[in-house]
Amino acid sequence: MRKLGAALVGLSSLLFLFVPLTQAEIRYEVGRVSYESYSDYTRVFIGLTPGTGYVVIDLRNPPRLKVNLYPANLSSVSKEIEVQDRFVKKVRLDQETEKVVRVVLDLNISDPTSSVDLSGDGSRLLIEIRGPEEDLVAAVLKEKEAPIVKKEEIPSVTLPQKREKAVYTIVLDPGHGGKDPGAIGRSTGLKEKDVTLKVAKELARLLKNEEGIRVYLTRNTDRYISLDRRTEIANQLGGGMFVSIHVNSGYRRRATGVETFFNSRYSYGEGAEEVAARENRPLGSENVPDEAKLIIWDLIQDEYRSESNDLAHIVQKEMVQTAGREDRGVKSAGFYVLKGAAMPAILVEIGFLSNASEERMLGKEDFREKIALGIFRGLKRYYENKW
Ligand SMILES: [Zn+2]
């Protein structure tokens, strides 16, 4: 079964062909929008001016896929294309800000798998929506088993009630990994990537026991993941919180203690810029995000800035108290790994590998457990208030 549909979004993209423009005068237009319906997936095509960047956000309740295009101009204020097939209800486009066009696919299925890709020449964006698939990341940590209700305990008249509380998804991001070791301790050679993974696993263990919490790790082995992929995973999982775990390496060897960051366009707090600069350049990273992507990512996290700020303060306080560490405070700066997160997002620096005594502590399980417990208490306080 195949259905073809098309809609013309902008005539100006045709005019564009006949008017010679210099590089500086390029107008980034959103062109023709069309779709193809198949029995097992739907494809939506959006014509673009090559050079247009995009960011994808999965949204639940109701299920939608949002794609922000930047820079991009829509010739009309808004546009709607009715699809009404198995996967997609309709496609909506509107000019969100001066240079950002928002594309929203209203979906007919609650658990979609999606992929978004640019054509080789950058002139077309292809969005594909399929049914649910076993997510590899989702399988990283097994969900708590559903409670088994014995047959005789089921009331004879009413059916078992659905759980009222929504499941709250927390995505933990152990910093670095694989070819990117992060900071390395001078006295024992302890690597940041190993410490962050151990702390994240411990934290996941604590969170897994909480009712209504689902926890995922962006990695659970020693492997390299790019910074943008980490946030992408969190967005795809529909995370309610994103926590990136890191270990500091100081400008001064004496520096000790813990600090928590959230993303902002301007740096705030002593040393914040240096920390961001270091964390934004993982060893062996091939592609540094371009300016357009960074701006659009900022727009996404901006919506959660005040919540990220709250979360950072709560976690920082609990971490300091539980682990008895020096309080370096909450700071903010531009962190690639936080920018694109469509949820409250923080980055914790749990100690200094550049300090010999903290390096020894970070190598010990009981210290890492205390840090994990501190972060856990902070997250718990935050989501309990949110509910
Ligand atoms: Zn790091």
Q: 245 C-alpha to center of ligand 1: Å?
A: 7
The rounded Å distance from CA 246 to ligand 1 centre is 4
Taking residues 334-358, report their average pLDDT.
95
Q: Distance between CA atoms of 316 and 371, rounded to whole angstroms?
A: 10
Q: Buried b / exposed e across 117-127, counting CB within 10 Å, b at 16+?
A: ebeeeeebbeb
Residues 124 and 172 in one domain: no
Six-digit token string for 343: 């949820």
Expressed in angstroms and rounded, the spacing between residue 275 Cα and the centre of ligand 1 is 8
Same domain, 306 and 195: yes
**Residue 321 and residue 209 share a domain:** yes
Q: Which domain holds residue 113?
A: 3-130
CA-based nearest residue to 194, from 368, 320, 377: 368
Q: What is the DSSP letter of 268?
A: B
Residue 90 lies in a domain: yes
Residue 221 lies in a domain: yes
Report H helices in 126-259.
Answer: 192-208, 227-236
Read off the pLDDT of residues 265-282 as tens digits, 9 standing for 90 and up: 888 888 899 999 889 988
**Residues 34, 172 within the same domain:** no
- DSSP code per residue over 342-386: SS-EEEEEEEETTSHHHHHHHTSHHHHHHHHHHHHHHHHHHHHHH
Q: Among 78, 107, 130, which residue terminates a domain?
A: 130
Mapping DSSP to helix (H, G, I), strand (E, B) and coil, where does residue 195 land? helix
Q: What is the mean pLDDT of residues 9-33?
A: 56
| C-alpha 281 – ligand 1 centre gap (Å) | 9
Of 166, 343, 325, 369, give the one whose Cα is nearest residue 244. Answer: 343
The pTM score is: 0.62
Model pLDDT for residues 113-126, shown as the tens digit of each residue: 888 888 778 888 98
More reliable by pLDDT, 355 or 78 = 355
CA dist., res. 241 & res. 300, Å (int): 14
Count of the separate structural domains present in the chain: 2
Tracing tokens 């409670």 back to the chain, one arrives at 147
92 & 229 share domain: no
pLDDT at 133 (0 to 100): 66
pLDDT in tens, 131-142: 886 544 444 443
Query: What's the CATH code of the domain at 281?
Result: 3.40.630.40
User: 174-207, pLDDT tens digit by residue?
Assistant: 999 999 999 999 999 999 999 999 999 999 999 9
Residue 156: inside a domain: no
- pLDDT tens readout for residues 71-88: 889 988 778 999 999 999
Q: Is residue 18 part of a domain?
A: yes
CATH number at 16 reads 2.60.40.3500
- Do 126 and 188 reside in the same domain of the chain? no
Pull the structure tokens for residue 20.
């010679």
Q: How far is the CA of 298 from the centre of ligand 1 (A)?
A: 20
Q: Is 122 left (phi over 0), alpha (psi -120 to 50) or beta?
A: left
Sheet holding 30-37, edge to edge: 3-7, 30-37, 41-48, 124-130, 113-118
What pLDDT band is residue 156 in, cutting at 50, 70 and 90? very low
Residue 44 confidence (pLDDT): 92
Query: What's the DSSP call for residue 151?
Result: G
Question: How far is Cα 207 from Cα 136, in angstroms, rounded to an integer?
Answer: 20
Q: Looking at the structure, tell me whether residues 120 and 179 fall in a common domain.
A: no
pLDDT at 210: 93
Verify that 310 and 218 share a domain, yes or no: yes
CA of 58 to the centre of ligand 1 (A): 27
**Residues whose beta carbons lie less than 5 angstroms from ion ligand 1:** 175, 182, 246, 279
**26 assigned to some structural domain:** yes
Amino acid 119: pLDDT:
78
State whether 91 and 176 are in the same domain.
no
